[in-house]
């Protein structure tokens, strides 16, 4: 993605404010809309029948076609955008028309229908207010449900003034009135109307359309010919499934219980030569439906929720974060609908926070699909050495990190932190100070320690400590604190020296083979010594060991069994510590005098990657004995994302800024985290801003408390 476009969006004050306000308002409205409804159950049902439908998509298409034709519609299955455009143009000319009045259809954007028709002398009029605005502006939608969210009232007033030839003031009710009056004649004059559909039913051949403005009903009623352009994946078996989709759509899209209008249209109504043409768009869908790795993407019901909650979308908007389809699913669908060349850059924009997965109406693993797709795109030069040679050779990799200690020395400030790094970090990271690579990594300190070890009683549960590279080389004291806390809580801890990178950086860069190699190495290293648990202090590592290793190694039954065995005994530090909270009793936590307050930041990969968010809070309140002042959006990404903060420093900085505002608002002087990456990011930001707020790993807070008592 061109850096200047990203910078331009970041500096677009209106866009930023609009997206930020929406990001704040959406979760509240959404929660209210789902009141009294079991979201998980509903989306679970949708996910199941959608996946089932995709398995039999050709059959569903055939059944829908038969039913719709029986009801009097003409059905046209079109393989390519070109074929769909040609078919629609043919229908329009066969009716002797040169004017098309349209209600909202993302499929029309997908095949660039307006462009095709205008070139052939057919005038197109968008009647959805948002779509009309962007049609007048000559732009594309920046959100699937709110296409013109990037336009303010002044922009709209200017566009409307130009379109109507009269002065339109920047007053929203008046602008809406202008649209009503101006577009009215379009509806009445329209010879052919085009709509999309949100769902199509195979048993009856009916289609379902949800709208708020009422233009959908007019477009499908006044013109004597109605064309519905529908992606084949919208077909569901019957009304029952259609109602589930209609139920979830507005709630997930904008937090509305139901839209003003839901229309079910079966066949052409009204007789006297009226026609209904249903153009079913394939454009790669039938092939994608049969793809074992990516078919899941087609479960999408286009609610737009994945964009609504995305921290990166909130910063850059849909013109950057997507192509025609925007948001997380836009990144996934673009390569299949519009080609890998269009997708290459945007696929890198996802920071991997999994927020989208949490709200997806069809329970799609959007983030997982994005990561898997990166494997399919061209890799940048240099990456081959980094991942092919360096990462797979543990000794070389660790030697390089040690060498970095010497290389960074001249850049260290008095406090020991780095304000400027050569080459890899440009001046845009200047808002963040960085901790240096430690003189002695934890793996060396662990060697000293094991020599002085006193044998512990046999009854203790044995724990292998998997530190992760960042903690090992940058925060060795965090590792020491982990060992000290766990030992004080009654575990016996040891550190296998041969452990190496968990492979996530390779996987995120699309180097699946390297990730697989690293998974095998670590699995052997961590299964060899007899131990009850493997403990990590980096949520990304926890997630990798627990979920990615079994997935990466699933092809070979032998390796899969090993990976699953490892996964079953891998825990995050807070989980193991929290187990002792009851046993240790209130003695530890209930400190003397006033409890100090901390605020807690949930790491993306801990909360959503591992489903752990309650245990860290128990560790803090019951074992460390502090009070938690929850911040707004406590589980929203901090903007680190590993190398993301280096690749897209401008975006990372803005995500961090939001986080810091929420932290400051709590008034707490300490932020507790369970992730070395979050610490690096947030601490750097808070320090550069001179806030005096500290960021500590829970293990450090616990070690300090245990040392006191």
Would you tell me which residues interact with another protein (CB under 8 A)?
A: 18, 21-22, 25, 71-72, 127-130, 133, 146-149, 151-153, 156, 172-173, 175-176, 179-180, 183-184, 187-188, 201, 203-204, 206, 212-215, 217-218, 220-222, 239-240, 243, 246-247, 254, 257-270, 274, 276
> Residues of 267-299 as b/e, b for ≥16 C-beta within 10 angstroms?
bbeeeeeebbbbbbbbbbbbebbeeeebbbbbb
Question: Angle at CA 16, nearest 5°, toward 11 and 21?
Answer: 165
Which residue, 212 or 400, has its beta carbon nearer to another protein?
Answer: 212
**CB of residue 296 vs ligand SF4: minimum separation in angstroms?**
9
Specify the 3-state DSSP secondary structure of 236: strand
In angstroms, rounded to a whole number, what is the distance separating the alpha carbons of residues 137 and 222?
27
H-type helices in 489-528, by residue range?
504-508, 512-527
Which residue, 258 or 390, has its beta carbon nearer to another protein?
Answer: 258
**CB of residue 293 vs another protein: minimum separation in angstroms?**
34
Which residue, 262 or 356, has its beta carbon nearer to ligand SF4?
Answer: 356
Residue 76 pairs with which residues in a beta bridge? 279
Task: Tell me which of another protein, ligand SF4, none is bound by residue 259, counting a contact when its beta carbon lies within the kind-specific cut-off of 5 to 8 angstroms.
Answer: another protein
**CB of residue 440 vs ligand SF4: minimum separation in angstroms?**
35
Which residue, 340 or 405, has its beta carbon nearer to ligand SF4?
Answer: 340
> Residues of 542-566 as b/e, b for ≥16 C-beta within 10 angstroms?
bbbbbbbbbebbeeeeebbebbeeb
**CB of residue 363 vs ligand SF4: minimum separation in angstroms?**
8
Task: Tell me which of another protein, ligand SF4, none is bound by residue 310, counting a contact when its beta carbon lies within the kind-specific cut-off of 5 to 8 angstroms.
Answer: ligand SF4
| H or E segment and range at residue 396 | helix 394-408
Task: Tell me which of ligand SF4, another protein, none is bound by residue 334, counting a contact when its beta carbon lies within the kind-specific cut-off of 5 to 8 angstroms.
Answer: none
H-type helices in 570-635, by residue range?
573-584, 586-589, 604-610, 614-618
In angstroms, rounded to a whole number, what is the distance separating the alpha carbons of residues 436 and 452?
28
Which residue, 15 or 425, has its beta carbon nearer to another protein?
Answer: 15
Task: Tell me which of another protein, ligand SF4, none is bound by residue 22, counting a contact when its beta carbon lies within the kind-specific cut-off of 5 to 8 angstroms.
Answer: another protein
Task: Tell me which of ligand SF4, another protein, none is bound by residue 362, counting a contact when its beta carbon lies within the kind-specific cut-off of 5 to 8 angstroms.
Answer: ligand SF4
Which class for 602: exposed (0-12), middle (13-18), buried (19 or more C-beta within 10 A)? buried
**CB of residue 483 vs ligand SF4: minimum separation in angstroms?**
32
In angstroms, rounded to a whole number, what is the distance separating the alpha carbons of residues 590 and 610?
29
Task: Tell me which of another protein, ligand SF4, none is bound by residue 74, counting a contact when its beta carbon lies within the kind-specific cut-off of 5 to 8 angstroms.
Answer: none
Q: In this structure, what token pair is assigned to residue 647? A: 């690749």
Q: Per-residue x/- mask for ligand SF4, residues 309 to 328, rule CB under 6 A?
A: -x-x--------------xx
Question: Angle at CA 675, nearest 5°, toward 669 and 677?
Answer: 95
Task: Tell me which of another protein, ligand SF4, none is bound by residue 153, counting a contact when its beta carbon lies within the kind-specific cut-off of 5 to 8 angstroms.
Answer: another protein
Handedness of CA 514, 515, 520, 523 (dihedral sign): positive
Of 229-237, 299-307, 559-567, 664-672, the window that binds ligand SF4 (rule: CB under 6 A) is 299-307
Task: Tell me which of another protein, ligand SF4, none is bound by residue 350, counting a contact when its beta carbon lies within the kind-specific cut-off of 5 to 8 angstroms.
Answer: ligand SF4
Task: Tell me which of another protein, ligand SF4, none is bound by residue 304, counting a contact when its beta carbon lies within the kind-specific cut-off of 5 to 8 angstroms.
Answer: ligand SF4
In angstroms, rounded to a whole number, what is the distance separating the alpha carbons of residues 544 and 665?
33
Specify the 3-state DSSP secondary structure of 126: strand
In angstroms, rounded to a whole number, what is the distance separating the alpha carbons of residues 638 and 632?
13
Which residue, 209 or 501, has its beta carbon nearer to another protein?
Answer: 209
**CB of residue 57 vs another protein: minimum separation in angstroms?**
22
Q: List the beta strands (DSSP E) in 31-139.
A: 74-78, 99-102, 123-126
Task: Tell me which of another protein, ligand SF4, none is bound by residue 389, counting a contact when its beta carbon lies within the kind-specific cut-off of 5 to 8 angstroms.
Answer: none
Instruction: Establish if 678 lies at the interface with ligand SF4 (CB under 6 A).
Output: no
Which residue, 183 or 655, has its beta carbon nearer to another protein?
Answer: 183
In angstroms, rounded to a whole number, what is the distance separating the alpha carbons of residues 4 and 27?
31
**CB of residue 611 vs ligand SF4: minimum separation in angstroms?**
16
What is the rounded (10 degree) CA torsion for 423, 426, 432, 435? 0
**CB of residue 175 vs another protein: minimum separation in angstroms?**
6
Which residue, 231 or 304, has its beta carbon nearer to ligand SF4?
Answer: 304
The interface with ligand SF4 within residues 346-385 (CB under 6 A) comprises 350-356, 359-362, 364, 366-367
In angstroms, rounded to a whole number, what is the distance separating the alpha carbons of residues 382 and 369?
24
| H or E segment and range at residue 278 | strand 275-281
Task: Tell me which of ligand SF4, another protein, none is bound by residue 32, counting a contact when its beta carbon lies within the kind-specific cut-off of 5 to 8 angstroms.
Answer: none
Q: What is the DSSP letter of 297?
A: G
**CB of residue 124 vs another protein: minimum separation in angstroms?**
17
Which residue, 362 or 700, has its beta carbon nearer to ligand SF4?
Answer: 362
Q: Are 669 and 693 in contact (CB under 8 A)?
A: yes
Task: Tell me which of ligand SF4, another protein, none is bound by residue 179, counting a contact when its beta carbon lies within the kind-specific cut-off of 5 to 8 angstroms.
Answer: another protein
Residues within the interface to ligand SF4 (CB under 6 A): 300-306, 310, 312, 327-329, 350-356, 359-362, 364, 366-367
């Amino acid at each position: 993605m061109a850096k200047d476009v990203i910078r331009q969006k970041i500096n677009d004050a209106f866009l930023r404010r609009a997206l930020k306000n929406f990001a704040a308002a959406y979760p509240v409205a959404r929660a209210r809309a789902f009141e009294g409804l079991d979201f998980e159950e509903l989306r679970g049902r949708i996910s199941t029948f959608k996946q089932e439908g995709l398995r039999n998509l050709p059959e569903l298409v055939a059944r829908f076609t038969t039913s719709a034709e029986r009801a009097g519609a003409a059905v046209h299955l079109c393989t390519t955008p070109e074929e769909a455009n040609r078919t629609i143009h043919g229908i329009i000319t066969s009716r002797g028309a040169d004017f098309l009045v349209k209600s909202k259809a993302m499929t029309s954007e997908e095949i660039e229908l307006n462009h095709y028709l205008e070139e052939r002398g057919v005038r197109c009029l968008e009647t959805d207010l948002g779509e009309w605005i962007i049609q007048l502006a000559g732009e594309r939608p920046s959100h699937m449900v709110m296409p013109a969210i990037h336009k303010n009232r002044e922009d709209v007033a200017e566009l409307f003034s130009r379109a109507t030839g009269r002065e339109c003031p920047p007053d929203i009710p008046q602008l809406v009135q202008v649209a009503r009056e101006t577009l009215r004649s379009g509806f009445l004059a329209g010879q052919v109307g085009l709509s999309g559909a949100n769902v199509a039913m195979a048993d009856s051949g009916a289609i379902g359309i949800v709208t708020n403005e009422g233009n959908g009903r007019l477009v499908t009623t006044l013109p004597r010919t109605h064309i519905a352009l529908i992606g084949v994946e919208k077909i569901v078996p019957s009304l029952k499934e259609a109602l589930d989709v209609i139920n979830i759509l507005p709630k997930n899209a904008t937090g509305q219980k139901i839209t003003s209008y839901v229309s079910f249209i079966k066949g052409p109504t009204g007789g006297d030569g009226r026609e209904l043409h249903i153009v079913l768009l394939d454009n790669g869908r039938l092939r994608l439906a049969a793809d074992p790795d990516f078919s899941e993407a087609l479960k999408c019901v286009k609610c737009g929720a994945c964009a609504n909650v995305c921290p990166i979308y909130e910063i850059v908007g849909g013109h950057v974060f997507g192509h025609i389809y925007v948001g997380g699913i836009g990144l996934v669908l673009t390569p299949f609908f519009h080609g890998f060349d269009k997708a290459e850059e945007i696929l890198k924009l996802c920071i991997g926070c999994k927020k989208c997965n949490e709200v997806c109406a069809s329970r799609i693993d959007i983030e997982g699909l994005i990561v898997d797709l990166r494997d399919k795109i061209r890799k940048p030069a240099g990456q081959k050495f980094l991942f092919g040679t360096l990462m797979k050779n543990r000794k070389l990799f660790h030697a390089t990190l040690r060498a970095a200690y010497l290389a960074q020395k001249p850049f260290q400030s008095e406090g020991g932190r780095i304000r400027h790094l050569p080459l890899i970090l440009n001046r845009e990271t200047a808002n963040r100070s960085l901790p240096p690579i430690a003189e002695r990594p934890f793996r060396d300190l662990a060697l000293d320690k094991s020599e002085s070890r006193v044998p512990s009683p046999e009854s203790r549960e044995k724990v292998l400590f998997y530190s992760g590279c960042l903690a090992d080389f940058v925060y060795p004291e965090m590792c020491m604190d982990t060992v000290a806390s766990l030992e004080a809580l009654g575990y016996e801890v040891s550190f296998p020296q041969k452990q190496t990178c968990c492979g996530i950086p390779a996987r995120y860069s699309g180097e699946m083979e390297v990730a697989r190699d690293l998974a095998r190495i670590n699995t052997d290293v961590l299964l060899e010594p007899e131990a009850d648990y493997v403990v990590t202090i980096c949520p990304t590592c926890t997630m990798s060991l627990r979920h990615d290793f079994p997935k990466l190694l699933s092809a070979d039954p032998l390796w899969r069994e090993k990976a699953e065995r490892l996964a079953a005994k891998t825990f995050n530090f807070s989980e193991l510590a929290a187990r002792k909270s009851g046993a240790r009793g209130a003695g530890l936590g209930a400190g003397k005098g006033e409890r100090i307050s901390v605020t807690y930041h949930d790491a993306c990969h801990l909360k959503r990657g591992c489903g752990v968010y309650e245990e860290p809070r128990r560790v803090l309140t019951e074992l460390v004995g502090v009070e938690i002042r929850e911040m707004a959006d406590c589980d929203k990404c901090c903007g680190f994302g590993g190398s993301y903060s280096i690749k897209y420093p401008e975006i990372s900085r803005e995500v961090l800024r939001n986080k810091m505002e929420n932290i400051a608002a709590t008034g707490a002087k300490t932020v507790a985290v369970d992730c070395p990456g979050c610490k690096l990011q947030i601490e750097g930001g808070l320090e550069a801003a001179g806030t005096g707020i500290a960021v500590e790993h829970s293990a450090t807070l616990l070690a300090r408390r245990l040392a006191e008592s």
